[in-house]
Amino acid sequence: MKKRNRFQSIFLFVLVLLVLLPSIAACSQTPQNADEAAPAENQDATDAPAAVPEEEEKKLLPDLPEDLDYAGATVTIMQHPFSAGDWADWLSRDIWSDGLTGEPINDAVFQRNAYVEETLNVTIKAEDVANMPDMIQKQVTSGSGDYNISTARIQSLPTTVTKGYLVNLYNMPHVDLEKPWYDERCIADASYYGLLYYITGDMIILDDDSTGAMVFNKQLIGDYHLESPYDLVQEGTWTLDKMAEMANTVAEDLNGNGEVDIEEDRFGILWQRDAIVSFMHGSNARIVDKNADGDPEYTITSEHAQDVFDKIDQIFFDPTVVQNMHNYSSKYPDIYVGEANIFRANNALFMWLRMRVAQNLRDMEADFGIIPVPKYDEAQEQYFSTVTKYTAATVCIPNTSAIDWDMTGAVVELMNAEGHYGLHEAYYENNLGSKISRDVQSTEMLDLIFSNRIYDAGEIYELGSISSNLYSRSAESGINLATLLAQYSKMMAKSLEKSFMTPLKALAEAGN
């Protein structure tokens, strides 16, 4: 408390001094300089008072006791190791840094960790763990305290969650889930029956890297005299139909052979199978959502969802206009690189991607911009984005008393709080520090992309085998949702109740 009181006293003194300065200055006028001051009646009555500079936004601090001291104890965090091929972009770069290098994200991570270590008197240690769910299970069943925190990918968590291998974060000391450094949409979507086993927040950026978005080619927009996608987003008219209209305008058989050539023709849209869920969510439809009582229920069976997939079937399955890059996995060992090269060569107007891939376009000669996935129609009020479960990381804690929960909670809270400023700003700088940085709308677009993200339990927990079938059917001639739902209706009901609701209710009743 003493540190805080001294700061407040100094602040009060400076504030009083600023208030009294005009009076002090007026009293100090001598007869010589008093004549130089213009009389009030001679001043122009229309002169406005000098503008007062806006006060800088005060940094929000976590509500942690000032006397926390963990005596140099080690906090070990699981991080994702480097992988080759199309997984090369999905390693952890948000947990550990060896030192300052001048690269924004690296330096923000280093500075954050140093601050947390000094403030809490802890030592942060990161270890590569390829199979985090397996490691969590081993730790919990053996009762060991090897790891305090996991950054497991969303896709890997369902069994880990339903078997109770993770701590209910509502019970974690010091973790204030109402603070802005946690994604409130993740908390709302991932919590059931008073249980929350994973979160996304500002101590990690793999969830941001994994958020779906669109890029557009500015040169082609100009060449074909099309409307600015930025303007469409801001006006609320960036819809599936508008995207299809623009895509059809640009698509062309450039070599004139009457065939579809992935590297020689021009396309309206490039996408991947993961994007099928992204466009569904962008249209405000889900596989599973909460009902008024907070229970999960299938909403993929709604009339709106059927309308969404009817439109998707109309737009995305004409190969002369739209190309699914997963159909070329044998041609491109890394489909992200292949897709980016086609876009970079000005052979596509739009491309769906996860945000991390946008940084691979920095050497693109033509300018490009980033925008959210389109809405279903203009009546839809908000843009929605999907956090791709395959690559997105989370923050979760193994459910074992062998680790110090008090220390672990304090570290999670402070790492997220500090990340809300330094790492968050570095992430924006990295994504805007390319061709996109020339756009005044860029920051607004990123805010829109990250502000309304969807964590669909139906997709994450693979309930009723719906999401896997959406992915596989995206490589065919259409989704045909009604046929899919009829085929899997029995499995859907059984899966929701047995695989999801029953185990979670049991954990809630047991007071996990």
Query: How many domains does the chain divide into?
Result: 2
pLDDT at 187: 98
Please report which helix (H) or strand (E) contains residue 322, including its range.
strand 322-324
Same domain, 187 and 267: no
Same domain (yes/no): 228, 284: yes
Asked whether residue 193 falls in the same domain as residue 235, the answer is no
Helix, strand, or coil (residue 424): helix
Q: First-to-last CA distance in the chain?
A: 35
Indicate whether 254 belongs to any domain: yes
Are 334 and 404 in the same domain? Answer: no
Decide if 217 is inside a domain.
yes
276 & 260 share domain: yes
Question: For residue 269, what is the enclosing H or E element?
Answer: strand 267-271
In a domain, 8, yes or no: no
336 and 465 both lie in a single domain: yes
Instruction: Look up residue 24 and give its amino acid.
Output: I
- Cα–Cα distances in Å, from 199 out to 64, 191, 196, 351, 392? 19, 10, 8, 29, 11
Residues 6+ away with beta carbon under 8 Å from 491: 464, 465
List CB contacts of 441: < 8 A, sequence separation 6 or more: 230, 234, 369
Q: What is the per-residue pLDDT for 245?
A: 98
251 and 371 share one domain: yes
Task: Compute the C-alpha angle 28/31/34, nearest 5°.
Answer: 70
Q: Is residue 442 part of a domain?
A: no
Element (H, E) at 275: helix 275-282
Residue 419 lies in a domain: yes
Asked if residue 26 belongs to a domain, the reply is no
The answer to the question of residue 279 being in a domain is yes
CATH classification at residue 79: 3.40.190.10
Asked if residues 492 and 463 have their Cβ atoms less than 8 Å apart, the reply is yes
Residue closest to 105 by CA, chosen among 422, 400, 460, 471: 422
CB 398, CB 463: distance < 8 Å: no
What pLDDT is recorded for position 137?
Answer: 98
Same structural domain, 483 and 366: yes
Asked whether residue 247 falls in the same domain as residue 152, the answer is no
One-letter amino acid of 37: A
| Same structural domain, 270 and 332 | yes
Phi first, then psi: give them for residue 137, nearest 5 degrees: -60, -45
Consecutive H or E run containing 189: helix 184-190
- Is residue 189 domain-resident? yes
Alpha-carbon distance of 300 to 285, in angstroms, equals: 7
Within 8 A by CB and 6+ apart from 356, the residues are 89, 90, 209, 210, 391
Residues with Cβ within 8 Å of residue 296, at least 6 apart in sequence: 192, 288, 289, 290, 457, 458, 463, 496, 500, 501
> CA 196, CA 189: separation in Å to the nearest integer?
9
Q: Are 281 and 337 part of one and the same domain?
A: yes
Q: What single string gives the DSSP state of each residue in 80-144?
A: PPP--GGGGGGS--SS--SS--S-HHHHHHHHHHHHHHHHHTEEEEEEE-S-HHHHHHHHHHHT-
Same domain for 336 and 397, yes or no, is no
Q: What is the reported pLDDT for 436?
A: 61
Chain centre distance of CA 24: 52
Give per-10-residue mean pLDDT for the chain (512 aa): 37 37 39 36 39 61 96 98 77 95 95 98 97 97 97 97 98 98 97 98 96 96 97 97 98 94 96 95 98 96 98 97 93 88 96 90 89 98 96 97 97 98 90 65 89 96 96 95 96 96 96 76
Neighbours of 248 (CB within 10 A): 16
At 136, the amino acid letter reads: I
Domain range spanning residue 334? 212-388+459-491
C-alpha neighbours within 13 Å on the C-beta side of residue 440: 2
User: What pLDDT is stored for residue 434 in this prediction?
Assistant: 56
Which pTM value belongs to this model? 0.86
The per-residue pLDDT for 23 is: 41
In contact, 435 and 343? CB cutoff 8 Å: no
